[in-house]
């Protein structure tokens, strides 16, 4: 698989990574440990060398990733995250220096490694100066426990303040054909500062694959049930975007998911999306997007067509939105 550097850093990753959250968290019951390890190793064999997890996804998530990549640890990039009290998003934020250190040490054990390639603050903590967060990670880098510092869902003010203390290698935020807000302020600032961008939910939490419609029923413990954008009414309204992508996919002899991912990778050379999946055939489908080239004319046609489509529904409930973009 092609490689990309995240911004001006020396961190080189596969052009597409794999988001591990859904293996055990958020999207229903997940899959067994054996199935997860098989999927992760299949991803590596297919060229993916960039894996994303977090303390907040539960101990099992990091443990499965650590076990899966142990035979080839030094050939892959592992990203994980800190920033919630007790590792539980329901308990609020906690980016106190002592907690950052505790999470780092715990994650190292779970991941069966002696260094974390990319250590993100999962959400900006308004109670802790971002300079203190960056300084703590800077110390962990000096100690060899961490190699690169990242932020997730941070706003431009926090990014600038943190970057002044410790170079931010990557920002991870949602970005896709149905959530394009990062284009307004974030992408210009990332380009200015030489920071890479790692879009999560590049397939709109599955919606852009075309496999979800207004009649889809999610598991009771699937967090999409709580997202305004996934209400039955909004799914019906947003189907217009999926239909558009399907039409482009037919012309390119590709799938909607592949077009959505190829579009993202065509935006900037320092963007590396991390679609997640629990299914081997979906993994293979996603990887196929790397070999799809969208021309300038293709991109302009997509731009013109999507500009006429309004997306309905907020991406998060109001309470969750409070921790985003700070």
d(CA 43, CA 30): 17
Angle at 288 between CA 210 and CA 120, to 5 degrees: 85
Q: In the structure encoding, which two tokens stand for residue 233, read together?
A: 């009414």
Residues catalogued as catalytic: 57
Radius of gyration of the chain (CA): 19
Pick the closest to residue 178 from 243, 233, 95, 130 (CA basis): 243
Q: Which residues pair with 67 in a beta bridge?
A: none
- The alpha helices in the chain, defined as continuous H runs, are 33-45, 59-69, 97-110, 130-142, 156-165, 186-193, 232-251, 256-267, 280-287, 296-306, 318-321
- DSSP state letters, 271-282: B----B-S-HHH
d(CA 238, CA 241): 6
Pick the closest to residue 244 from 178, 315, 175 (CA basis): 178
HEC string of 23-60 equals HCCCECCCCCHHHHHHHHHHHHHCCCCEEECCHHHCHH
């Amino acid at each position: 698989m092609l490689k990309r550097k995240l911004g001006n850093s020396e961190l080189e990753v596969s052009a597409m990574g794999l988001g591990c959250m859904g293996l055990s968290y958020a999207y229903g019951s997940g899959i067994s440990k054996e199935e997860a390890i098989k999927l992760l190793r299949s991803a590596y064999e297919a060229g993916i060398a960039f894996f994303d997890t977090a303390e907040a996804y539960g101990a099992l998530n990091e443990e499965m990733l650590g076990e899966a990549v142990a035979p080839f640890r030094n050939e892959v990039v592992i990203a994980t995250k800190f920033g919630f009290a007790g590792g539980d998003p329901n308990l609020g934020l906690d980016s106190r220096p002592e907690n950052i250190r505790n999470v780092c040490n715990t994650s190292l054990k779970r991941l069966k490694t002696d260094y974390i390639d990319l250590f993100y603050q999962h959400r900006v903590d308004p109670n802790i100066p971002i300079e203190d967060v960056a300084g703590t990670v800077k110390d962990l880098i000096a100690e060899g426990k961490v190699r690169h510092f990242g932020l997730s869902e941070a706003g431009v003010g926090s990014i600038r303040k943190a970057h002044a203390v410790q170079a931010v290698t990557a920002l991870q935020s949602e970005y896709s054909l149905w959530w394009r807000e990062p284009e307004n302020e974030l992408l210009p600032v990332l380009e200015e500062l030489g920071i890479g961008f790692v879009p999560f939910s590049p397939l709109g939490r599955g919606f852009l694959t075309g496999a979800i419609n207004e009649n889809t029923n999610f598991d009771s413990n699937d967090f999409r049930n709580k997202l305004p954008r996934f209400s039955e009414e909004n799914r019906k309204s947003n189907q217009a975007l999926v239909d558009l992508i399907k039409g482009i996919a037919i012309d390119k002899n590709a799938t909607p998911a592949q077009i959505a991912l190829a579009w993202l990778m065509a935006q900037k050379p320092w963007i590396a999306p991390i679609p997640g999946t629990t299914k081997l055939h979906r993994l293979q489908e996603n990887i196929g997007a790397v070999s799809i080239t969208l021309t300038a004319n293709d991109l302009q046609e997509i731009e013109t067509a999507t500009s006429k489509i309004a997306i309905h529904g907020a991406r998060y409930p109001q309470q969750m939105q409070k921790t985003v973009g700070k």
